[in-house]
Amino acid sequence: METGSTKAVYAALFGNLGIAITKFIAAALTGSASMWAESYHSASDTVNQVLLLLGIKMSKKPASDLHQFGFGKSQFFWSFVVATMIFGISGILSLEQGFSSLLGEDHHFENPVINYIVLAIAAGFEANALRIAFIQFKKPIVERGEKTRPSTVWAEFRNSKDTSILTVVVEDTAALLGIGIAFVGILLTDITGNTQYDAISSIVIGALLMSFAFFLAKENRGLLLGESVSAQQYTQIMAVVNAVSEVNKVVTMKTMHLSPTTVIVGIEVNLIDGLDTDRIETVTDTIENEIMKILPESKKEYIFVEIER
């Protein structure tokens, strides 16, 4: 069964593949530097979606003796690779195209109408892909009963561990911004006859892609190194465990994401006096069940409860 992340990635993949082919044709026919930059952008986005799907597939592999906690972090790894590809392919090629057109004397520009048509079509595809991705992205907000406001969206953006859907949202947003920048550059060149505007647009697109790539790389780096649950989930877990009548206090708790939904939890608790072995086992099971209510998509066997001696 496809997850929301997978659906969003597929939508972006097929959209970007068609857009990339169309943009390359338009760039070859018109010679527009900003259209070449957008072509590189869409081509790398297409490859990126393939890598994201690879990461999602690999993350579902069963645990082995060598990887006893599974392969969930594959999503984080391939999302990190995608971020570096945005920088290495889209960003650098866009900058190179822009500077060579700006400093060179052989920059030709013709048939701008073709560019307008292609950019309009691309904007439609990218907007639809972003719509699908955003629907999946905001699901946790809706499930928490919160309103989809800029503040809650930004908080979810910062706290989300689903790097695949996060990457698609960032890519589609960057794509729409890139289309807008390319349109402005082509329009100004069309009006003034000065091809420098077209070249500058390519440079701006390259800088934009590098900025987004840096953000994605930073987010994925944290998850690869072992990022804990969000502050909200941490507070909720502490509250439900402390609410268990036999628990005096939570001594320590450490968590780490093994995948966007799977979390390893190590918790040490201090219990009231006078509990026999059977009762302690019952309390331990209760604590595990309470934690699973906060992390319903995780695995109970990854919750380790220790009693303070």
Task: Write out pLDDT tens, residues 142-169.
Answer: 887 888 888 888 888 878 888 888 888 8
Q: State pLDDT tens for residues 188-198.
A: 988 998 888 88
* pLDDT bracket for residue 281 (50, 70, 90): very high
Domain hosting 39: range is 4-225
Q: From CA 24, how far away is CA 62, in angstroms rounded?
A: 41
The residue among 187, 202, 225 that closes a domain is: 225
Q: State pLDDT tens for residues 78-115.
A: 888 888 877 667 788 888 878 887 787 566 677 788 88
Q: What is the CATH number of the domain that holds 252?
A: 3.30.70.1350
State whether 67 and 149 are in the same domain: yes
Q: What is the CATH number of the domain that holds 179?
A: 1.20.1510.10
Instruction: Please classify residue 189 by burial: count the beta carbons closer than 10 Å to its beta carbon, then call 0-12 exposed, 13-18 middle and 19+ buried.
Output: buried
State whether 216 and 249 are in the same domain: no
The residue among 225, 252, 268 that closes a domain is: 225
Q: From CA 298, how far away is CA 295, in angstroms rounded?
A: 6
Q: State pLDDT tens for residues 244-264.
A: 999 999 999 999 999 888 999
State whether 136 and 270 are in the same domain: no
Output the pTM of the full model: 0.78
State whether 208 and 240 are in the same domain: no
Kindly report the number of other CB atoms within 10 A of residue 165's CB atom.
25
Q: From CA 79, how far away is CA 166, in angstroms rounded?
A: 9
